[in-house]
Structure 1
């Protein structure tokens, strides 16, 4: 029972205090890809803590460190014997959480894939392909640019965007969208969306989706800035500010534009080696904390 209470306290700390700390850590924006890894690691750590807590509450007389050994053995990592006292019914609680997460993830992937497929079909019917730019152009009076990631990916721009954007601005926007496609950012957002749905009401679940979305936009910005100037990308964001993004698509514009604008035009700080190392260690070790608690408290 002490172990379960310790895990519950850790989960509560991660769910409420963790997001506050990370949201205020603006230095994480210097390495957005690593920052996404830290957020995902925090979410995984919370989910593991919840699952182990549920098992511990269902089996208060069972030693959680034995359960961890059982799990390791089932994965072929540990050679010890499986606990004969483990109640299979108690495993349904953590298994239910895992099943809910996987089901929501599969649902979000399927819904977004269908939405992109429908929109891609409509774009191919109405738009015209411009091979030299690698984009599909739509006849529309509002400047807009977005990508449809996944299989058969497309980068879509409107006639108005071609007229309003300078060549440098257009190049920056297109490189931004290529960053989304190459990084498979839609898959990461589907994971955080599923997490948000299963654990809705928990601050971590809300923040992990919002912050990951903003960080992935920053990562795409960084790709564009490697080959284009800051003024070009910032100017493109201003021109595309009013554009809407279709369901399942990713765009350079959006509600994160102001935050990214300040980052683009502000002082450019490269992430320090120690910052990158710390973020890497945090992303790699945070999911292990619930397992350490489950084993360490009981052993103590």
Structure 2
């Protein structure tokens, strides 16, 4: 067996199975949601890279892998003076299986990108249909900078994209005080400003591509909740904790349309408890930075060892 396969295989197994479970169990993530989102994104990138490199080393003949390890060794930072591009004789001697290995690697790397584009097109269609409906049934309120839609259920949500807009139901206008309504609007504007719909699409793409894995299942559950918490934190810069908590509680039963982001929903009760509970954000950030450092320190040697182990 090609021993260069072991490092990327270990990276794939760690990022696809073990590390997502540990990250999901960490209490610090809900206190530092933006940092946790970055770590989830890093896990997704590392898993895809590890899987592609595993396929590459599995299909690559030992002779080519050995040549590649020497080229990589010469281009490491401590030996960069010996780094030279591969000679034409090396490229011309590649066999069909070498090109198959490169093609398989490119396919695996492109798979999440293809599913992301598919999900983006699908979400854009949903948003276009909903925007058309809003143009017929909704009424623009310049004071609120939002579209008012006749509906008895209290709901505030945003329609992201190139022409984003915030939608408020008449039920929300009747149920919420002015401070509570402003808090809910700030939450939705935080979603738009942070382009949270793009991260949601990325999670959907990874889930569609690697659905059976713990990484995909945990991301599908954790990242949308973290995005809501990140929007809550940004909204709290302009409103009080009590106003946002009461607004979320009032809209907990609301359901947003497909391809939108809502202030209420099933996670509202958990987020209300988080907003009203005193937090040690600095300590949570330190824990998150420690976890990130440990992750990078653990996977960097695997990347270096993948193609540079001699023999």
TM-score > 0.5, shorter chain as reference: yes
Aligned length: 294
The Cα of 1:49 is off from its aligned counterpart by 0.6
Q: Report the equivalent of 2:65.
A: 63
User: Does the residue aligned with 2:163 lie in a helix, a strand or coil?
Assistant: coil
Rate the CA distance shift 1:8–1:130 in 2: closer, same or farther, 3 A: same
**CA RMSD of superposed structures (Å):** 2.5
Gaps of 5+ in 2: none
The within-5 A match list for 1:1-300 is 1-61=2-62, 62-63=64-65, 66=68, 79-81=84-86, 83-84=90-91, 86=94, 87-272=98-283, 274-275=286-287, 277-278=289-290, 281=293, 288=300, 290-296=302-308, 298-299=309-310
Bigger CA radius of gyration: 2
The Cα of 1:12 is off from its aligned counterpart by 1.3
The Cα of 1:257 is off from its aligned counterpart by 1.9
1:64, 1:31 → 2: CA distance?
44
User: Does the residue aligned with 1:244 lie in a helix, a strand or coil?
Assistant: coil
String of CA shifts for 1:168-226, please: whole Å, max 9, x gaps.
11111000000000000001111111111111100001112321111111100001111
Rate the CA distance shift 1:56–1:280 in 2: closer, same or farther, 3 A: closer
The Cα of 1:165 is off from its aligned counterpart by 0.5
2:297, 2:199 → 1: CA distance?
20
The Cα of 1:95 is off from its aligned counterpart by 1.2
1:246, 1:67 → 2: CA distance?
51
Rate the CA distance shift 1:257–1:283 in 2: closer, same or farther, 3 A: farther
User: Does the residue aligned with 1:157 lie in a helix, a strand or coil?
Assistant: strand
| Structure 1 runs (4+) greater than 3 angstroms displaced | 67-70, 272-290
String of CA shifts for 1:9-48, please: whole Å, max 9, x gaps.
3311221111111011111222211111101101111111
Contact between 2:33 and 2:227, CA under 8 Å: does it hold in 1?
A: yes
2:28, 2:150 → 1: CA distance?
41
1:125, 1:286 → 2: CA distance?
55
Q: What is the TM-score normalised by the length of structure 1?
A: 0.90
The Cα of 1:281 is off from its aligned counterpart by 4.2
Contact between 2:154 and 2:170, CA under 8 Å: does it hold in 1?
A: yes
Gaps of 5+ in 1: none
User: Does the residue aligned with 2:148 lie in a helix, a strand or coil?
Assistant: strand
